[in-house]
Chain A
Amino acid sequence: MGTAMKIIQDGSLKVVPGGYAVQARLNWYRSLPLSCVEKVSLALDGAPVDPARIRFGINGHEYRLDELDDLVEEFWFVQDSATLHVLQPGAVAKDETHTLQAEITLRFPYIPVGFGKFLTTPTSCTTTQTAA
């Protein structure tokens, strides 16, 4: 946990139906409702990924990023990985090496920092991986 945590797991880049996917970790000590995942952004080899192409997979479900805000009763468990699935066929092929930049911003819904505002922390990570 903390600033040094790698939010994208090593060796997790994989070609999957419809595009590619990586495994992401929660950079906090406790599970959070999905509504507290404020922002997920990715860039592939320096080119920003359109957020509308990203699907957030957790607990056997897959969500669009704009669906997360309402999910106050579904949790991202500390020990679980979320799958960031990018719907971009052909962007990554097996055995190709790519550089991914990721940023995940979390809101801690029990730590107020002023009225109606909560501690909100981004974590970023750059990783170069060969797709499986």
Chain B
Amino acid sequence: MKKPILGVTLYSFTNEWQQRLYTLEQLVEKVARLDLGPAVEVVGFQSFRTFPDVPDDFARYFRDLLEKNGLSPSCLGANLDFGRRKDRLMNDDEKIAYIERQIVSARKLGFPVMRIQHTAGAKVLEALEPAARAAGVQLACELHSPLSADNPDVIELRERFDRIGSEYLGFIPDFSATMTAVPEGHWENLRRSGAPEALIAEARAIWKTDDPTPVKFGALAAAADRFKVGPAAMSQLNLAMTMFGHAPVDSWRELLPYARHIHGKFYHVDEKGSEPSIPYPALMSLLTDAGYGGTISAEWEGTAFTEEAAGFEEVQRWRAMGERLLAD
């Protein structure tokens, strides 16, 4: 029976990286030393100074670095910065060119999959399929919260993928779409930004509704206005709605045939070896039942709540949890 291949995204070490505690080489070496591989994912704009492009000699250096550490590239995180100009959005040709540059980088660096945002849209993705195919890089839209299987954008993409029928297009499901609670760390953050308990209680209730995100933003703005909180707290409130989704675990089932890679999002694995806000036992058993044999990155996002350089410790706990659940 096929089993998922576990690995890690260097994004989990955002705090370590931002505090300049590690170089890229040191991060990779520690991943290997702690047995967190073999699959290594990298966010291009986080780890590579010259991104969206990479020079040939750097690409060679990076491939050698992974190889000599017994690791393999899984997925390159690309970004569609379609709002990079203040005065106007990118048009489709500009979107295609911007993503194509990153496909070239993915190929040079040896990544078989490249993550892109769904905001690229079906038409742009279809136009990019030949470039992805030629590069041997699967182009996959991250289905981060709030993009669950029943989201209209996701349905449209899926229909387009069905019509094109190419293994070079697909999805990267992210466990943040199927959470059972907002991580406590997020509410803690809001308290620190000066949000009163009553506002947090309202935000919890708004999170639990099935309203579309813009409606939730509206409700939050109205609540924040009543409690007179500042822009920092307001942006934290909005983030809670987009970062943490609460779709049922079973909704992944119909998307798995399109999965090219998976983001094993988590916020904290506790002493008992469980993630209080994400139903890992159900998710892992769904993946094994479905015979998913692709890669899953441990993606620690507790960096949203703490400056602590706790990435390696958290990923080690995630890894132990993942191996235990897959062995069951």
Say yes or no: A79-B18 contact (C-beta < 8 A), given A1-B303, A4-B192, A30-B45: yes
* Pairwise interchain contact A35-B303, C-beta atoms closer than 8 A: no
B289 beta carbon closer than 8 Å to chain A: no
Q: How far is the CA of A122 from the CA of B231 in the complex (A)?
A: 8
B62 beta carbon closer than 8 Å to chain A: no
**Minimal beta-carbon separation of A32 from chain B (angstroms):** 8
Q: How far is the CA of A33 from the CA of B77 in the complex (A)?
A: 17
Total contacts A to B, CB within 8 angstroms? 96
- Most chain-B CB neighbours within 10 Å: which of A2, A4, A116? A2
B74 beta carbon closer than 8 Å to chain A: no
Q: How large is the interface on B (under 10, 10 to 19, 20 to 34, 35 or more residues)?
A: 35 or more
A1: B residues at CB distance < 8 A: 14-15, 18, 303-304, 307
A31: B residues at CB distance < 8 A: 45-46, 49, 51
**Minimal beta-carbon separation of B168 from chain A (angstroms):** 22
Residue of B nearest to A117 (CB): B83
B252: A residues at CB distance < 8 A: none
Residue of A nearest to B306 (CB): A2
A69 beta carbon closer than 8 Å to chain B: yes
- Most chain-B CB neighbours within 10 Å: which of A35, A79, A112? A79
A113: B residues at CB distance < 8 A: 217, 238, 242
* Pairwise interchain contact B46-A78, C-beta atoms closer than 8 A: yes
Checking B86, B193, B238, B239 against A35 with a beta-carbon cut-off of 8 angstroms, the contacting residue is: B86
Checking A29, A35, A69, A109 against B18 with a beta-carbon cut-off of 8 angstroms, the contacting residue is: A29
* Pairwise interchain contact B305-A2, C-beta atoms closer than 8 A: yes
* Pairwise interchain contact A69-B305, C-beta atoms closer than 8 A: no
0/1 per residue, A34-49, Cβ < 8 Å to B? 0110100000000000
A60: B residues at CB distance < 8 A: none
* Pairwise interchain contact B303-A2, C-beta atoms closer than 8 A: yes
Residue of A nearest to B189 (CB): A3
Residue of B nearest to A59 (CB): B49
Q: How far is the CA of A122 from the CA of B189 in the complex (A)?
A: 15
**Minimal beta-carbon separation of B19 from chain A (angstroms):** 9
Say yes or no: A109-B303 contact (C-beta < 8 A), given A1-B14, A30-B43, A119-B238: no
Checking B18, B89, B189, B231 against A78 with a beta-carbon cut-off of 8 angstroms, the contacting residue is: B18
Say yes or no: A3-B236 contact (C-beta < 8 A), given A77-B49, A110-B119: yes
- Most chain-B CB neighbours within 10 Å: which of A31, A69, A75, A111? A31
**Minimal beta-carbon separation of A66 from chain B (angstroms):** 11
Which B16-31 residues have C-beta < 8 A from chain A? 17-18, 20
A63 beta carbon closer than 8 Å to chain B: no
**Minimal beta-carbon separation of A99 from chain B (angstroms):** 20
A5 beta carbon closer than 8 Å to chain B: yes
A85 beta carbon closer than 8 Å to chain B: no
Q: How far is the CA of A3 from the CA of B195 in the complex (A)?
A: 13
Which B200-227 residues have C-beta < 8 A from chain A? 214, 217
B82 beta carbon closer than 8 Å to chain A: yes
* Pairwise interchain contact B235-A78, C-beta atoms closer than 8 A: no
Residue of A nearest to B193 (CB): A3
B232 beta carbon closer than 8 Å to chain A: yes
Q: How far is the CA of A121 from the CA of B233 in the complex (A)?
A: 10
B323: A residues at CB distance < 8 A: none
Q: How far is the CA of A122 from the CA of B11 in the complex (A)?
A: 22
Q: How far is the CA of A25 from the CA of B43 in the complex (A)?
A: 19
B17: A residues at CB distance < 8 A: 78-79
- 6 shortest interchain CB distances as A-B pairs: A109-B83, A30-B45, A109-B81, A118-B83, A109-B84, A30-B46
| Interface residues, chain A, with chain B CB atoms under 8 Å away | 1-5, 25, 29-33, 35-36, 38, 69, 72, 75, 77-79, 107-114, 116, 118-124
A–B complex contacts, Cβ < 8 Å, 7 sampled: A1-B15, A2-B306, A30-B45, A113-B242, A122-B231, A122-B235, A123-B232
- New A-B contacts (17) at CB < 8 Å, excluding given A3-B189, A4-B192: A1-B304, A2-B189, A5-B307, A29-B46, A30-B45, A30-B79, A31-B51, A75-B45, A79-B20, A107-B83, A108-B83, A110-B79, A112-B82, A112-B83, A116-B83, A121-B235, A122-B235
